[in-house]
A and B are shown apart, each in its own frame.
Chain A
Amino acid sequence: DQQVKQNSPSLSVQEGRISILNCDYTNSMFDYFLWYKKYPAEGPTFLISISSIKDKNEDGRFTVFLNKSAKHLSLHIVPSQPGDSAVYFCAASVGDDKIIFGKGTRLHILP
Chain B
Amino acid sequence: DAMVIQNPRYQVTQFGKPVTLSCSQTLNHNVMYWYQQKSSQAPKLLFHYYDKDFNNEADTPDNFQSRRPNTSFCFLDIRSPGLGDTAMYLCATSREQLAGGGNEQFFGPGTRLTVL
Using a CB–CB cutoff of 8 Å, the interface residues on chain A facing chain B are: 2, 4, 9, 31-34, 36, 41-46, 49, 51, 89, 93, 95-104
Contact = CB atoms under 8 A, between A and B. Distances in A.
Contacts, number: 65
B21 interface: no
Interface string B86-116: 0000101010110011111111111000000
Interface of B: 4, 6, 31, 40-45, 48, 50, 90, 92, 94, 96-97, 100-110
B42 A43 contact: no
Nearest to A53: B100
Interface residues of chain B: helix, strand, loop or mixed (majority) = loop
B105 A51 contact: no
A101 B43 contact: yes
Contacts of B41: 103
